[in-house]
Amino acid sequence: MHGRLLAGTARVDITPPLTVPYLAYHPRQGFATGVHDPLLAQALVVESGGVRAAVISADSIGYARVVAGVGRDFTEDVRRRVEARAGIPGSRVMLASTHAHSTPETLAFTPIYELPGVSAWLDALMDQLADCVANAAGALRPAELRVGHGTVTEVSWNRRARRADGKGVFKPAVAGDDKAAGTIDPDVGVALLGYDDGSRDALVNFACHPVCVQVQPLFSADYPGVARAVVEQVALDGGRCLFLQGADGDINPVTSTTDFAEMTRLGRIVGLEAAKVAERLRAPDSLPEPWRAPVAQGPLKIARRKFPVGGNALPPSEPHERALAEAQRAYERAKDDKEKSAAATRIKIEYATVTRLRRGPGPFEAEAQALRLGDLALVGVPGELFVEYGLEIKRRSPFNHTFVVAYANDYLGYLATPQAWQQGGYEVGLGPWCLVSAEGAAEIVREATETLRDLS
């Protein structure tokens, strides 16, 4: 028998000092000049039948386990602190990120821990995340869970879409545009938690890269922050909304600019759709189905699998180390902007290659983690999962409602399909954003699906 569901949420402002770098082009470490909107971490703690678990959603580009330096494991360190503060075993804690790009560079593309004050900031951040979970645990109260879905098609497009002639399409597809649309996941998943006093919290799951305002000097939560605020204002009456990023590896917003007005527009579209679903889920029990959403009754269960995955093939490192040094000297000797720009491009390419080569060929340890709340399941994968794989996991899931949560518990780069590897391109290029081979990505998908079945 499962006991009544208890739930509690909390949030903390994790906006960093301006001395913490974000991921720029050249140099790869850029520094913000201000804050457009605050970065938040939010935690949900749930308990049923004596089992307790936590989900953290942070406005972050992602947390690589190695981000704090050699010999450290960021995720496990957060989990240890959560266990000490909230009594929740680390195996029952999911650390997820929205993948907003206008946030600190925590993917370990660069050794940010070497910069003054950054190591201390990472330690403080881990404390903040753990304290957020502890506060959520302190707010546990009886809750009712309902789950629904909406559809948004006008925000995202598949950036790897190909025309019939094989050429890439770098714009949103329109009807009849020579099969250029590609695959997206238009689903807006909403899990609504209702409490006895009438207050509400929610989880929202949607798949689209938060790059509306990437590589600009203001910290921002991008469109997920807007969507979250809309849901809270329209449907939650001040309650909290956690945004869980879906399988967005090859999915971009229809505009990737530095236009905050456009970021707001897209975020509102997602947020208003989610708010509409949340309002639909609040239908009185006196109504018959389908107007009344059923309660997601059932046990709370957590499962995870750890397993090795192979890295992609690597060339010898010495030529690239030498080319990087030569490009850096060329940049220093540049006589005009044209020469400097050419050298900067070479530095960017060689730096990415060398960074990847220094991580080695693998294998890398991966973790798939799943949490079940009745007929809702959250399944976390450690990287930029391609949308085709996300849809496959949903199809194969034994649950009525499955939220695929990317960037969960680690960052192993793009998890690309075999077709993408055949086509080539940025996501499968030689850089720190591509650690796992095609076979390794497929193994992560298999293990994620099996982890869901472990709960069924």
pLDDT tens-digit map of 45-64: 999 999 999 999 999 999 99
Residue 219 has φ and ψ, to the nearest 5°, of -65, 140
Which residue is it, tokens 């998943």?
189
Residue 381 has φ and ψ, to the nearest 5°, of -125, 150
Which residue is it, tokens 């469109």?
223
Mean pLDDT of 340-363: 90
Mean pLDDT of 31-52: 96
Cβ neighbours of residue 216 closer than 8 Å, sequence gap 6 or more: 102, 258
For residues 406 and 99, the answer to whether their CB atoms sit within 8 Å is yes
Q: How far apart are CA 360 and CA 245, in angstroms?
A: 28
Mean pLDDT of 419-444: 94
Give the HSE-up count for residue 358: Cα atoms under 13 Å, Cβ half-sphere.
15
What is the percent of the chain where pLDDT is above 90? 81
CB atoms within 10 A of CB 116: 7
Domain-wise residue ranges, the chain: 318-359
Task: Output 170 or 120, whichever has higher pLDDT.
Answer: 120
pTM equals 0.94
Mean pLDDT of 55-77: 97
What's the pLDDT at 416? 96
What is the percent of the chain where pLDDT is above 70? 95
Decide the pairing of beta strands 200-206 and 241-245. parallel
pLDDT band at 27 (very low <50, low <70, confident <90, very high): confident
Q: How far apart are CA 233 and CA 240, in angstroms?
A: 9
**Which residues, listed in sequence order, are joined to residue 55 by a DSSP beta bridge?**
44, 94
What's the pLDDT at 285? 83
228 CB-contact burial (10 Å; exposed 0-12 / middle 13-18 / buried 19+):
buried
For residues 305 and 365, the answer to whether their CB atoms sit within 8 Å is no
Task: Output 395 or 177, whichever has higher pLDDT.
Answer: 395
What's the pLDDT at 287? 84
